[in-house]
Amino acid sequence: MNDTAEPALWSLGATQIAALVRSRQVSASEVAQAGLSRLEAVNPAINAVVECRPEETLAAAEAVDARIARGEDPGPLAGVPVTIKVIVDQRGYATTNGLTSQKDLIAKTDNPVVANLLGGGAVSLGRSNTPAFSYRWFTNNLLHGQTYNPRRKDLTPGGSSGGAGAAVAAGIGAIAHGTDIAGSVRYPAYACGVHGLRPSFGRIAAHNSSGAERDIGGQLMATSGPLARSVGDLRLAFTAMAKPDPRDIWSVPAPLHGPAVDRRAALCLRPDGAQTDPALQQSLLQSAEKLRAAGWIVEELDALPPIAEAARVQITLWLGHDYPGKLAAAQAEGDPGALRVLEGQAEFIRSLAPDAIPRALIRRAEIAREWALFAERYPLVLLPPSSELPFADNLDLGSDADYRRVWEAQNAMVGLPITGLPALSLATGATPEGAPLGIQMVAGRFREDVLFDAATEIEARSAPVEIAMR
């Protein structure tokens, strides 16, 4: 593998790395060293990884090699380099969530999702950046600084898992861990031109013992998920991550594969009348044709179950619950982006009735049921990831009109979490100006396998995702 004609180890996908390490064609230590070298070469320009301990990375890789030498199973992610978002507990590291106030909040145990990744043989290259409180679709904070998009520096890398998206797009790791409460895996994947999965609610166990219990929005809509440069790698990461844990009271031991479904998909270019960018509409139409070539029936519809209303319900539960406490915490942190998010929602929050939270919980159930029944008829749904191309970086810090524009464009990201359904952001190329393009796919609850199968058909008929900053 050292021959110059061979691709660099850091550039390989997770599936290929795991196979090479398991067969002892290369060592996990060699892969880790290559990953660290790649990080050193490109991370200073994008600030995707904000903490790296090379000695720990190499020690973890050596442990994988030792297991293989003893004839033990190293796990499905044998030697695969990954990054882990600073929002989750990783033993010995600060769970900062992008906050100066949490710079010394050192985790004593691994979050279940971290334990499952590392227990599956993955080797951590470092911790990836997030905006303060993981609030924004942009990644910047007072503690770790700004993360840049490796595709185009003037565009957002997305948020809140912007460090994760930028890292995997730039070849820093084959898999990135992210979290998603309102699009925080799916949007960075789209903005950075890679793939990202928001799994079904309850599919991937997560719990931070370092902090307080999550509030209503976090408990009912937040989930961890993987980002990767190929659908196969996304599936491999998901398989390792998707394990229940008693610390997560919502986790469910659901099977990874379900019964056969009708190969029928719904396509909606402008859900709830969204003014979807023509380039994104074209990506959806082309993806639909690729599915039809694979034997799917794809029906174009004018409407889907609620999206915009679902987004309002989501914001009510996420930001409306203890809004004064959230605002006070953001004011104490002093982060401009976090304050902009909360202050921009002040009018909406003030308009809520005293019983808005219980009413939102009731409406959440009704909308989730509509989507569940829709998924019975259409096992797959294609819709835009956003109504706009990736935003200019920090657009939300501009005028009030800019702020409203950002949030209105993101209804398809924000609304879906209340349904509990899995959603996959699939990279589909780029505009002539280099702005990433993508689509969003939704399936029935615990039917990530349907998403992976359909995404694989589209990927097989498309150009592969290229690594940025070659």
Positions annotated as catalytic residues are: 85, 160, 184
Query: Please, are residues 194 and 229 in contact by the beta-carbon 8 Å criterion?
Result: yes
Which residue type is seen at 206? A
Could you give the CA distance from residue 243 to residue 253 in angstroms, rounded to a whole number? 7
Residues in the chain: 470
- Distance from CA of residue 7 to its chain's centroid? 27
Burial class (CB in 10 A: 0-12, 13-18, 19+), 54: middle
Of 95, 133, 90, the closest CA to residue 112 belongs to 90
Taking CA atoms, 335 is separated from 343, 402, 407, in Å, by 12, 19, 19
Q: Classify the C-alpha dihedral 286-290-291-295 as positive or negative.
A: positive
Secondary element (H or E) of residue 123: strand 123-128
Exposure string for 351-372, b = 16+ CB within 10 A, e = fewer = ebeeebbeebeebbeebbeebe
Query: Please, are residues 298 and 288 in contact by the beta-carbon 8 Å criterion?
Result: yes
DSSP state letters, 390-457: SPBTTGGGS-HHHHHHHHHHTHHHHSGGGGT--EEEEEEEE-TT--EEEEEEEESTT-HHHHHHHHHH
Burial class (CB in 10 A: 0-12, 13-18, 19+), 14: buried
11 cis-preceded (ω within 30 degrees of 0): no
**What residues contact 66, with CB distance under 8 A and at least 6 apart?**
none
Query: Please, are residues 228 and 234 in contact by the beta-carbon 8 Å criterion?
Result: yes
Burial class (CB in 10 A: 0-12, 13-18, 19+), 279: middle
Beta pairing partners, 140: 146
- Distance from CA of residue 280 to its chain's centroid? 19
